[in-house]
Structure 1
């Protein structure tokens, strides 16, 4: 039986890849800075993460097809059925996130938003000078700030656990299904059956406007304290 013809298709725009690899890098910077007592680098990396997250939410509503939550979020039952076939070796025909991967994306975004949001109110991080605090820490009570600081620390550990699960899943897809999920997130392209219509890419002008608005919003938040 003849193999189905394939073609190289752009599935991930540069904006999605910027968010993905940008947050990976910034989480590393955040971890190093918290362990070396570099408060300025820690807060700046947190602001950058929040900027990318706000952009990602907006792009998930009005961006490229593969970025939109409405396109890749499917029912939990579909996600479970997809995972049930994890050991089945087969070609990758998913244009964007698969049914299980979509929920992992949502979980990671949620955890990152909690992490960045709680960091705005965090106070007296270990190893920092006494007056180091998030830009909104002084707008709430000491008890609330202390509680949110605890949330900030706990959520970071949950992010590490979720990231480890994500990496294990990517490795499992490569080993069990023979599917490369990393390459397309680097290049933006993957080989798909020629019968599948390529996804629509979003407007770069709109994306730039969303990113600028996100950065301006975060800048404004840092000036509220």
Structure 2
């Protein structure tokens, strides 16, 4: 007997696919350059808003989307790698998957932050460059264009390889639950809340992220 449980609430699923699409578009616009950099900057604000939303949603979102649900101890990670994991490890993010999630969020935050401080000395200048020294701008630009982008690409590739491994080797369905939200589990667990009230809360969290991104975008405008 299996139990159908709502694991990924709708806001988490929309965040996941919106972030994936935004990262792909950011990479494409960065490679094209030129006028596409206008969209690169706009997409950077979108990712900033999404990251703020995820930070808030990691505190107040659905049961399995909260950071507390996949903030594992080193001992539990070791047990998982040895094949002696807890039954809950297969419900939401596994201990290894949790490391990937936190690493990707951290690297994306660093990429967005350094992008806001970057200046290509041609046509693009981040809105925060006028608040820091030229040395800081140079360091941020170097990281954003060299180290940061390859860290993002590397973690995305690792994330995709892990999905293929879990699907092909461990026979875990990871993509479908992120589409419709439910998982078939051998034991009943507490589901994630995914009702109208939680979705209203998600809209408010996204509005907070969008408002912060818009405010940051205005900081680059000259004061009169």
Q: TM-score, normalised by structure 1?
A: 0.88
Q: CA RMSD in A?
A: 2.0
| Counterpart in the other structure of 1:224 | 219
Taking a change above 3 Å as real, the CA distance of residues 155 and 31 of structure 1, as seen in their structure-2 partners, is: same
- Could you list the runs of 5+ residues in structure 2 that have no partner in the other structure? none
4+ long deviations beyond 6 Å: none
- The CA deviation at 1:194 is 4.7
| Counterpart in the other structure of 1:42 | 40
Tell which has more relative contact order, 1 or 2 (C-alpha 8 A, sep 6+).
2
Q: SS of the counterpart of 2:183?
A: strand
Per-residue CA deviations over 1:165-200 (Å, capped at 9, x if unaligned) read 111111111222111111111221111125333233
For residues 15 and 143 of structure 2, what CA distance do their matches in structure 1 show? 23
- Could you list the runs of 5+ residues in structure 1 that have no partner in the other structure? none
Q: SS of the counterpart of 1:9?
A: strand
For residues 163 and 32 of structure 1, what CA distance do their matches in structure 2 show? 14
Per-residue CA deviations over 1:24-83 (Å, capped at 9, x if unaligned) read 111111111112221111001111011000000010011111111111111122123212
- The CA deviation at 1:120 is 0.5
- The CA deviation at 1:210 is 0.7
| Counterpart in the other structure of 2:201 | 206
Q: SS of the counterpart of 2:169?
A: helix
For residues 112 and 139 of structure 1, what CA distance do their matches in structure 2 show? 22
Q: Is residue 180 of structure 1 aligned with residue 178 of structure 2?
A: no
Q: SS of the counterpart of 1:66?
A: coil
| Counterpart in the other structure of 2:14 | 18
For residues 89 and 45 of structure 2, what CA distance do their matches in structure 1 show? 36
For residues 82 and 194 of structure 1, what CA distance do their matches in structure 2 show? 18
Aligned pairs for 1:110-189 (under 5 A) are 110-124=106-120, 130-153=122-145, 154-189=147-182
Contact 2:80–2:95 (CA under 8 A) maintained in structure 1 = yes
Q: SS of the counterpart of 2:212?
A: helix
Stretch of structure 1 that moved more, 38-47 or 164-173:
164-173
Contact 1:80–1:100 (CA under 8 A) maintained in structure 2 = no
| Counterpart in the other structure of 1:76 | 74
Taking a change above 3 Å as real, the CA distance of residues 195 and 13 of structure 1, as seen in their structure-2 partners, is: closer
